[in-house]
Amino acid sequence: MPIIINLDVMMAKRKISLNELSEKVDLTLSNLSILKTGKAKAIRFSTLEAICKALDCQPGDILEYANDDET
């Protein structure tokens, strides 16, 4: 899939654990883990907004588009 999830990178930059982020955004550990590993098929804007707020970042810091032609 050409959408890359950089949630783990932002979490490392902000020095926040999956447990801490889960509590801050009110999302289960399993759902957050699915998102973090790139296995999620979709994300709600409200969830993305909560993650960005908790990590003090922009959606583009978390989501990246990789053109298949470039790989």
- Full-model pTM: 0.87
9 located within any domain: yes
Q: What is the pLDDT of residues 15-51, one digit of tens each?
A: 999 999 999 999 999 999 999 998 999 999 999 999 9
State how far the Cα of 49 lies from the Cα of 71, in Å rounded to an integer.
30
Q: Number of structural domains, the chain?
A: 1
The tokens of 42 are what? 């979709």
11 located within any domain: yes
State how far the Cα of 51 lies from the Cα of 27, in Å rounded to an integer.
10
71 located within any domain: no
CATH number of the domain within which 30 lies: 1.10.260.40
62 located within any domain: yes
Give the domain range for residue 23: 3-66
Question: Hey, is 20 helix, strand or coil?
Answer: helix
- Top pLDDT among 67 and 48 is at 48
Question: Looking at this protein, which amino acid is placed at residue 29?
Answer: L
Q: Which helix (H) or strand (E) holds 59?
A: helix 59-62
